[in-house]
Amino acid sequence: MIPSAYLSGMGAARQIDSELAELYLTHTQIGDPKADAVIAEFRGVPFRTQMDWFRRGVSEGPEAIPDAPEALREFIRSVEAPPVWFDASRALPGCRVFYGNVETFMAAFAGGVLIQGFSTLISRSFAITGRLIDAGERRLKQNNRHLAEIFLPGGLDTYNDGWKASLRIRLMHASLRSMLQRSPEWDQDAWGTPLSAAHIAFGAAAFSGGLVMAAGKLGLQLTEEERESFMMIWRYSAHLMGVPEALQVATVEEAEALIEVGRAIEPEPDFESIILTNSLINSAPIVAGIAHPGMRRRLVRKIYRVSRELIGQPLADQLRFPPERGHLDLALFRLKCRLDRIARRWVPSLDQMRRSGQFSLLMTVSSKDEISFRMPGHLHAEKDRENG
């Protein structure tokens, strides 16, 4: 049975792409069988034991944890080898364009695709847990850390940090999904499976192809080689995060199609989406390390203006963004981006200096914590902290 929240959008989505719409609807009722099996086996196991199994398993392989449940060893075995379409020798152009243009990608991420991702019913899952409103700054920094790790050359090699970070997100989703499904706060008939495969796929499409499109609106135009490499890196990370093959996107065009269909199926943003997206924008200056209240307010207003242009006026209105237009901000950002790329093309030393500065910027806005495999101990974030 189709969850009731999606009934009103089915017709419009099927007119856009009936096959993709059916896939999306089906996956609103599917979680992540392999990761869910791991979390089911861990129920009642002490946290320290869980963390030790995770740490050893994703660092040394399944043979290093003979004392762990078979579900965890099978989970690690299933992702040890990269899929046949991933070619590590083709990853460098995507890594270089990301680390050479961190400022643009971060602006597109914070003001565009992250907002778009949390405008779906996935916001209901995070609103119930309190893990975005309660700790928006930390969540933004963890998202940035994930980007930093997967775009480091070799970051997605088996047992490297980008590979581990992607698996951590997957297992975190599975842990929260398990608790939400057992909670009276979750209405399965209305909303489908919490943190469903459809929502994780929508997010991956937004963070990959959607990010390329949003960066393009800010003036960054990737070459065909850069686009293909960027998308391949993100597709591999999405694969590790449990996105089913049927909903993995290989090109910017495929991502755009999935976003369009998903946006048509999803109900209009509800109160949770409004709170979460506005909270994320207001957290951005804190993540950037801006302490002065006046400077924070000015940056927030600018992000709102640019975000309106990136996500579109209708969605911005639904999310109750301030009614300012950002044409001038967008035009200035585009001009700055294009002039910067021209200058760096003609002055190699400037390119090296700029890349160093961009890397420092990314480190400033990313989490410095070691990748932890501690799973949530309670559905609600404040209770999780109380329990250590």
Picking from 181, 206, 205, 178, the residue whose alpha carbon sits closest to that of residue 192 is: 181
- The more confidently predicted of residues 374 and 277 is 277
- % of the chain surpassing 70 pLDDT: 86
Could you tell me if residue 5 is inside a domain? no
Percentages helix, strand, coil for the chain, rounded to the nearest 5?
Answer: 70, 0, 30
- The more confidently predicted of residues 374 and 213 is 213
Q: d(Cα 316, Cα 277) in Å, to the nearest integer?
A: 10
**For the residues 5-32, what does the mean pLDDT come to?**
97
Q: Could you give the number of structural domains in the chain?
A: 1
Least confident of 25-39, 120-134, 301-315, 343-357: 343-357
For the chain, the C-alpha Rg in angstroms (whole number) is 20
Q: Is the pLDDT of residue 175 over 50?
A: yes
Could you tell me if residue 4 is inside a domain? no
- The more confidently predicted of residues 215 and 327 is 215
Q: Are the C-beta atoms of 78 and 163 separated by less than 8 Å?
A: no
Could you tell me if residue 13 is inside a domain? no
Q: How would residue 134 be classed by pLDDT, with cut points 50, 70 and 90?
A: very low
pLDDT in tens, 227-243: 999 999 999 999 999 99
- Between the CA atoms of 149, 150, 153 and 154, what dihedral angle is there, to the nearest 10 degrees? 100
Q: In terms of residue numbers, what domain contains 84? A: 19-386
pLDDT at 207: 95
Q: Is the pLDDT of residue 367 over 80?
A: no
Could you tell me if residue 131 is inside a domain? yes
Could you tell me if residue 92 is inside a domain? yes
**For the residues 310-323, what does the mean pLDDT come to?**
92
The H or E element that residue 348 is part of is helix 348-364
Q: How many CA atoms lie within 13 A of 296 on its CB side?
A: 13
**For the residues 133-151, what does the mean pLDDT come to?**
76
Could you tell me if residue 243 is inside a domain? yes
**For the residues 3-18, what does the mean pLDDT come to?**
96
Q: d(Cα 39, Cα 180) in Å, to the nearest integer?
A: 13
Picking from 386, 388, 360, the residue whose alpha carbon sits closest to that of residue 374 is: 388
Picking from 373, 51, 5, the residue whose alpha carbon sits closest to that of residue 194 is: 5
The two tokens of residue 165 are 């970070």
- % of the chain surpassing 90 pLDDT: 59
Q: How would residue 356 be classed by pLDDT, with cut points 50, 70 and 90?
A: low
Tell me the C-alpha to C-alpha distance, in Å, between residue 4 and each of 7, 26, 132, 192, 306.
5, 13, 25, 8, 34
pLDDT at 354: 62
The per-residue pLDDT of the chain, averaged, comes to 88
Q: How would residue 371 be classed by pLDDT, with cut points 50, 70 and 90?
A: low
pLDDT at 147: 92
Q: How many CA atoms lie within 13 A of 302 on its CB side?
A: 16
Could you tell me if residue 10 is inside a domain? no
Task: Report DSSP letters for 114-181, one per residue.
Answer: HHHHTTSTHHHHHHHHTTTTTTHHHHHHHHHHHHHHHTSTTTTSTTSHHHHHHHHHHHHHHHHHHHHH
Residue 237, phi then psi, degrees to nearest 5: -60, -40
pLDDT at 290: 80
Could you tell me if residue 14 is inside a domain? no
Q: d(Cα 134, Cα 131) in Å, to the nearest integer?
A: 5
Q: How would residue 372 be classed by pLDDT, with cut points 50, 70 and 90?
A: low
